[in-house]
Structure 1
């Protein structure tokens, strides 16, 4: 009887250890921290927002817009980018962007022909019913990465983007 009980305890212990090791191996994958993405995931471990904040809205717009054009092989990407413009930009801002694109043959949201690898949005002030946020776009990785900056003006009552201006 003692041999059977010992075998049962050994089996239960082995099953428990196997389950724990399996869970430890699977948990990082479920959390999105697998090896190829771990450095990127660690850098952006917390994101929060407020739909009443122009800074959050500008960040949401640029994040979703860049994701859409980055994924240009996805058939829905172009339609999504257009829908984002229609939702986040005022009609006047959409017209200004279209005019820029017509004359410069470049994206009027990014003021470029390519897609940045990183973006950051910083609140810079408000007045006269508008808020301004500075969008910093990073175009490559590494110590010598090129950056560009755009001041984005938003209407405080509608939260729509009303103006985009490249910063020298």
Structure 2
């Protein structure tokens, strides 16, 4: 691994850890943040960096945290670093083209930020796996939900394509 790649990876990891700590600390301390903070009853969490669906979930979790923290000056840089780390160069180009054309976020396919997200494995073949990302945009009994199919390369684990489910 080249020194530049290592630095990029370490920067993305450090920014993600810092933003996560910054988002979690007020909730644990019982203080209010700029957005409504909810403490979830999560007894444990785990992951596996070799699991392609887990990597999509890790990306969406960190990315949504970054764009949610719009008042934090490091948030935009973190979102950009996450895109560079998790998306293939072709996927990055496609996302950028979508954003220029639609004036909306090309990862979320929206202009705002979801309040919840979920990722599920939906299948694989030809060296790729597909994960379905479900984004929930509001709370309540009838929240708005959108879905995105995310294609990932099984060898590199990079996201190679994102398509909103219509």
TM-score range, shorter chain: 0.7 to 0.9
Aligned position for 1:155? 153
Q: Unaligned 5+ residue runs, structure 2? A: 1-24
Alignment-derived partner of residue 62 in structure 2: 64
1:112 is aligned to 2:110: yes
* Counterpart for residue 89 of structure 1: 87
CA RMSD of aligned residues (A): 2.2
Match of 1:11 in 2: none
Q: Separation in 2 of the partners of 1:45 and 1:129?
A: 35
Task: State the partner residue of 1:15.
Answer: none
How far did residue 40 of structure 1 move? 3.8
2:72 corresponds in structure 1 to 74
2:128–2:151: 8 Å Cα contact kept in structure 1? yes
Structure 2: distance between partners of 1:75 and 1:38: 19
Matched, 1:41 2:28: no
Instruction: Please report the TM-score for the alignment, with normalisation by the length of structure 2.
Output: 0.77
Deviation of residue 47 (structure 1)?
A: 1.7
The runs of 4+ residues in structure 1 deviating greater than 6 Å are 35-39
Q: Distance in 1 between matches of 2:120 and 2:153?
A: 16
The 2-side partners of 1:35 and 1:92 are apart by 42
- Whether the 8 Å contact between 2:150 and 2:162 is mirrored in structure 1 is yes
Cα displacement (A) at 1:75: 0.4
2:163 aligned to 152, 156, 165, which one? Answer: 165
Match for residue 98 of structure 2? 100
More helix by share: 1
Report the alpha carbon displacement of residue 48 of structure 1 after superposing the two structures with TM: 1.2
Question: Partner of 1:41: helix, strand, or coil?
Answer: coil
Which consecutive residues of structure 1, in runs of 5 or more, have no partner in the other structure? 1-28
Question: 1:50 corresponds to which residue?
Answer: 48
| TM-score with structure 1 setting the length | 0.77
- Deviation string 1:72-126 (CA, Å, 9 cap, x unpaired) is 1000000000000000000000000000000000000000000000000000011
Q: Deviations over 1:122-164 (max 9, x none)?
A: 0001100000000000001111110000000000000000000
